[in-house]
Chains A and B, each alone.
Chain A
């Protein structure tokens, strides 16, 4: 029987899908909450929360203006909060990779709690251990009440410009302790200057030490006021 002349199908290079790429892709969009905390740290230089409206003989225009703008900003926050609460399933608007970023941006107390957790873990094995101790931090404290200050600073930050965020207690609505000043010393160490207001409520206040250059988190400062009444 004569062979029919007919076009042939090309021979396929494969007949099935590749179900496993050999290496795992690390997508650039996935951001760690840690870097969000750094951004939070970087952004905290301006003081959020209620601004002090001009005191004393404030021009009527300013008072009026502040009333309008504070109302407006508060409404915006409320509707954002309602939105986050009212939407079931996958949380407030935003693409999924950014979701955890946005939600994690909220609340300095939360961020600091996380930072405290990280502080309890060891550094990676490969990290340079030049000296067993980090740079020396001297603390200058002015306080009426009994206070205990604990500073944790990552090694290797000699010569950098550091800053400290305002120290806050566990109650987000309570006033902060203020930001201690962190200055460099000639010998490469640091000096932390802190003043405790007299009327400050006892408790634990903590804040993040950050690198002024890149905003990365470098350590924590914790102050216990009226330390005797607290058990460690």
Chain B
């Protein structure tokens, strides 16, 4: 991975805005009773580390349009709380083992308490916005709730698609299906909402927001594909989840879909068999076989190329969106993100 100036800037801003958000989060996650049943659990993921890409996008966008840190931090906190809430639930739904290099919350505390902590974080995500009423005005806060509402619906629908495909063992999916699922499940919370909330805080409402959907989609989709790639080929130390975990979970990634597309009928049959039973019954041998087959059919390369194309489209949309705005750190940060999402390790 070549180190670019853009890449360095992205790192810097992620660190800076990440720290800003984290310290703001402390206000919403006090150490009070019941600690071991709730508050410590809720605080686990948020403070376990993480890229903080979502709140950073939000803060940077707001600042591009002239807002101050304090204006946008409530939104950034809300997003990060909600993101972590969904991580908790995702881990349970996906039956994942590791998160950010440590056991998942349900492995540490049991599913019931983890679910409860996740619910709590989800509702908590509204509180920073509620309390920002005076600073931002009721009207803006209401607008932001509308955005959250939209995002919540899209995310749930996307997650439903993802889980539903797995439950019904659907593998004959098209790339467009996958991208639509990613758009809903990932992009709304990861990129689109942070962009839109940032724009709202910065005073841009309402018409520009559709272009944020495009930019956010391309950026988020590239991000997700790279995530999926790292799951298969990444460096475990950096990546933080168990390798090939997605294959174990039977997650419908672009690589899996491509594999199914290219495989011959016998192989397809076998793929179906491997993925049909629940995770516990999957064998290491069958997972390895899937992985090898992906190499055979160049699924990794395919996905990588597709992610590149999406990143390029993201750059294009960035121009349309921010082209006429004056230069600045935040602007460069967003500009560098498409490249960064596909080049990161």
Contact = CB atoms under 8 A, between A and B. Distances in A.
A60 B305 contact: yes
A60 B313 CA distance: 10
Given A68-B183, A105-B206, A61 B306 contact: yes
A66 B313 CA distance: 8
A73 interface: yes
B214 interface: yes
A73 B309 CA distance: 20
Nearest to A77: B210
Interface in A27-82: 39-40, 43-48, 51, 54, 58-69, 72-73
Given A67-B176, A68-B180, A68-B183, A59 B214 contact: no
Nearest to A54: B316
Contacts of A43: 204-208
Contacts of B204: 43
B175 interface: yes
Contact of B313 (A39, A48, A54): A54
**Chain A at the B interface: mostly helix, strand, loop or mixed?**
helix
B320 A61 contact: no
Contacts of B309: 58-65
A61 B307 contact: yes
**Chain B at the A interface: mostly helix, strand, loop or mixed?**
helix
Contacts of A105: 206-207
Given A46-B211, A48-B210, A60 B180 contact: no
Nearest to B207: A43
Contacts of A73: 210, 213-214
Given A51-B320, A54-B312, A72-B183, A64 B211 contact: no
Given A65-B313, A68-B180, A60 B208 contact: no
Nearest to A60: B309
A105 B210 CA distance: 14
Given A47-B320, A68-B179, A61 B310 contact: yes
Nearest to A67: B176
B324 A65 contact: no
Given A45-B324, A46-B320, A69-B217, A64 B207 contact: no
A48 B321 CA distance: 11
Interface of B: 175-176, 179-180, 183, 204-208, 210-211, 213-214, 217-218, 221, 305-310, 312-313, 316-317, 320-321, 324
Closest 10 CB pairs of A and B: A61-B309, A43-B207, A59-B309, A61-B306, A62-B313, A62-B309, A68-B179, A61-B310, A65-B310, A69-B217
